[in-house]
Structure 1
Amino acid sequence: MLVAMVIVLGAGRYFQTTYTLETYFDESVNGLAVGSPVKLRGVNVGRVAEINFVSNKYDPANIGEVRYVYVECDINPDLFEFIDEEKFIEVLRKDVARGLRIRPTSLGLTGQLFLNIIYDDPKGNPPLPLKWTPEHAYIPSVPSTLSRVEGAIATISKTLSSLKQEDLESIIGDVKSIVDSIDNFMNTESGKEAGKRMLGILDSTRNILARTNTLMADPALDRIIPNTAGALEGVNRIITESADDIIAAAHEAKIAITSFKQASAVLGKTLSDPRMDKAMGEIAPTLENISQASTDLTAAVAKVHALVNRLNGVVASEEANIHAIIGDTREVMQNVKELTGDAKRYPSGMIFGTPPSKPNPEDQ
């Protein structure tokens, strides 16, 4: 029973399949021990299997006198179903590029640490410089929160310690001088005037805030904001639906602008041609001739207009005679029509005499 209990509680892990990953820390890992949990966003995914120095694991670390702490972890593969170890290493490599990091985190007031796998800014947390190739899957580390606080305090302490007693006295004297100058200025007429202006500005600001609060408390604002949001949504929908048309119009406008530029270039080249100056000089007399012809044409039109007016006057004065002539002409044409009809019916009568008498049906 004792042997079985030892196997179940301790040695049983040697028969488990695990994925191995490693990381390095350039800080104290006091509180981290073999068996400490490894968590991914609060979920326990493994345990710390080994803690050592990098110089004992990789020979190139001794050349550069690297003093990193080596931590090896066993990851439970049951939490990563359908992923073999090769695929696991590939996924880790991609996530490391996206910012996957390991941070030592305290469990509370006990001082014990566990390794927390997180996602952080890869630019602000670059990996430690390495001169060797990791044997297992590798996740870079980031300093713990306590280490960052200690570093900030050390920086502040170093800054304060760099200040000398004379510097502090000078700074205090400068601050006191500035305060005295402000106090003296505020006691003068200009200072009092500036104070009044500042009070006026504060009053104006208070009034503006009061009006803003009144506007914000207006019930109409509850309708205006949704209506505005709806209008903006409609505009956004119209722009989205018309995106292709807008792109096509922009493309056509670009083509038109290109054509206009080409036409402008051709026009500029034409205008700069010396022959254009000669042509413009020849056009000027032609334009003068056209202007003179237009003047003559205007006079001719005026004469034609006068002639038409005279004809209208003559026609108006002889209108009765014209009507009589038209009536006589109509009567003559009617007689000619009748004569032509008789000639068609009785051609001999037109030559030898009167036409024969009409037969009487009663005599028959």
Structure 2
Amino acid sequence: MIRKNDYFKLGLFIILGTGMLLAMVIILGAGRFFETTYPLETYFDESVNGLSVGSPVKLRGVQVGRVSQINFVTNIYPEAREREIRYVYVLCEINPDLFDDMSEEEFDDYVRRESKRGMRIRPTSLGLTGQLFLNTVYQDAESNPPLPLDWTPEFAYVPSVPSTLSRVEEAVTTISKTLSSLKQEDLQSIITDVKSIVGTIDDFMKTQGGQEAGERMLDILQSTRGILSRTDKLLSDPAAEAIIPNVSAITANVSRITEESADNIINAAAETRAAIASFKQASQVLSRTLTDPRMDKAMGEIAPTLENISQASADLAAAVSKIHALVNRVNGNIAAEEGALHSIIEDTREVLQNVKELTEDAKRYPSGVLFGNPPTKPNPETK
């Protein structure tokens, strides 16, 4: 038999369990409200069936955010209503932790810069389920221009490109339109022309010239087979496996050197062009100078001058020879009288020494030098 206390405990357990469940849901769900995310928007001019709020946004396979809002552009930007633009508006929340903690302004600049380089958003299927996610890819910016806009995006904007399925559908539609535009008469005419060409080729192949052409084709195919066989042997050689990476590395180095030296090469080319232009101008000036009649007259006057210079050079060489002989005779005389010169120098040195002593005595005892005997030498021992 259940007692009243059991009802109380059961009710308390249910209330506490429900409260704990609600608290867990609130805690797990409220964490998203405290996350810092950067908004990013894009527009699609196609169906986005399979894309929903919460779908991942990936950059080269790495999830960087999620879809937070899907709407029509006309509901977000009233300017789009004037042209009746039917783009689909998609707003995404991007996690800044995956972008080196950029500020929102830096993130906007990064998105704008990368969009100019070809960054695009493409709806991509997850598989057979039909669910879509937004994949950020890099395409050629010129062949994939952004959609025409009559408004300024409120947040960071990345242009979109059609999905692969949309492109396949467009190609199939184009082919279908092309086939449907062909008339029955055109098809019959094409088939008749093809039959005629095939019949002509068959008739030619039955002739002697056609058989010779066939034999030549067989010879060419056999030669090609031999070349391919030898090429396969060369490529299967272990040495080729080492050569190919080396060639690749050399090519990469040459490409790197070329890129690094591009400015120098351009400057060198410009300087070479300027040097060639200067050389051409100098050649023209020289040509005009040589063809000038006054040049012939000047050359006629230069010839006697050159003869006079030659004669003067010969006279100068003779004078130099005479001076050289004179110097040799002087050196011989000096060498012969070296002893006498040494005696004269010694005597001169003694005379100068005596004159120096006499000058010192005259400075100290001028009266004694002129009128009397020299003074007695002082004796330091007596006072």
The normalised TM-score by structure 2 is 0.61
1:202 aligns with 2:211: no
- RMSD value over aligned CA atoms? 4.4
Looking at structure 2, the residues matched to 116 and 234 of structure 1 have their Cα atoms a distance apart, in angstroms, of: 34
Partner of 1:132 in structure 2? Answer: 151
Looking at structure 1, the residues matched to 73 and 137 of structure 2 have their Cα atoms a distance apart, in angstroms, of: 23
1:56 aligns with 2:75: yes
In the TM superposition, residue 41 of structure 1 has moved relative to its aligned partner by 2.0
| Amino acid in the other structure paired with 1:56 | N
Residue ranges of structure 2 left out of the alignment (5+ in a row): 1-19, 303-383
- Within-5 A mapping of 1:157-176: 157-176=176-195
In the TM superposition, residue 200 of structure 1 has moved relative to its aligned partner by 3.0
- Within-5 A mapping of 1:156-305: 156-210=175-229, 261-275=280-294
1:107 aligns with 2:98: no
The worse-fitting range, judged by mean Cα deviation, of 90-99 and 28-37 is 90-99
In the TM superposition, residue 226 of structure 1 has moved relative to its aligned partner by 9.9
In the TM superposition, residue 272 of structure 1 has moved relative to its aligned partner by 2.8
In the TM superposition, residue 72 of structure 1 has moved relative to its aligned partner by 0.9
SS in 2 for 1:66: coil
Residue identity (%): 69
Sort the Cα spacing of 1:279 and 1:168 in 2 relative to 1 into closer, same or farther, 3 A.
same
Looking at structure 2, the residues matched to 47 and 262 of structure 1 have their Cα atoms a distance apart, in angstroms, of: 69
In the TM superposition, residue 33 of structure 1 has moved relative to its aligned partner by 1.0
Looking at structure 1, the residues matched to 249 and 137 of structure 2 have their Cα atoms a distance apart, in angstroms, of: 40
1:30 aligns with 2:49: yes
Residue ranges of structure 1 left out of the alignment (5+ in a row): 284-364
Match among 50, 73, 88 for residue 69 of structure 1: 88
Give the length in aligned residue pairs. Answer: 282
In the TM superposition, residue 199 of structure 1 has moved relative to its aligned partner by 2.5
Partner of 2:169 in structure 1? Answer: 150
| Amino acid in the other structure paired with 1:126 | P
| Amino acid in the other structure paired with 2:93 | D
Sort the Cα spacing of 1:275 and 1:141 in 2 relative to 1 into closer, same or farther, 3 A.
same
SS in 2 for 1:21: strand
1:98 aligns with 2:117: yes
Sort the Cα spacing of 1:5 and 1:212 in 2 relative to 1 into closer, same or farther, 3 A.
closer
In the TM superposition, residue 282 of structure 1 has moved relative to its aligned partner by 10
Looking at structure 2, the residues matched to 266 and 80 of structure 1 have their Cα atoms a distance apart, in angstroms, of: 65
In the TM superposition, residue 252 of structure 1 has moved relative to its aligned partner by 9.9
Looking at structure 2, the residues matched to 230 and 123 of structure 1 have their Cα atoms a distance apart, in angstroms, of: 31
Looking at structure 1, the residues matched to 72 and 291 of structure 2 have their Cα atoms a distance apart, in angstroms, of: 83
Sort the Cα spacing of 1:95 and 1:254 in 2 relative to 1 into closer, same or farther, 3 A.
closer
Sort the Cα spacing of 1:187 and 1:223 in 2 relative to 1 into closer, same or farther, 3 A.
same
The normalised TM-score by structure 1 is 0.64
The worse-fitting range, judged by mean Cα deviation, of 127-136 and 189-198 is 189-198
The worse-fitting range, judged by mean Cα deviation, of 186-195 and 205-214 is 205-214
Partner of 1:47 in structure 2? Answer: 66
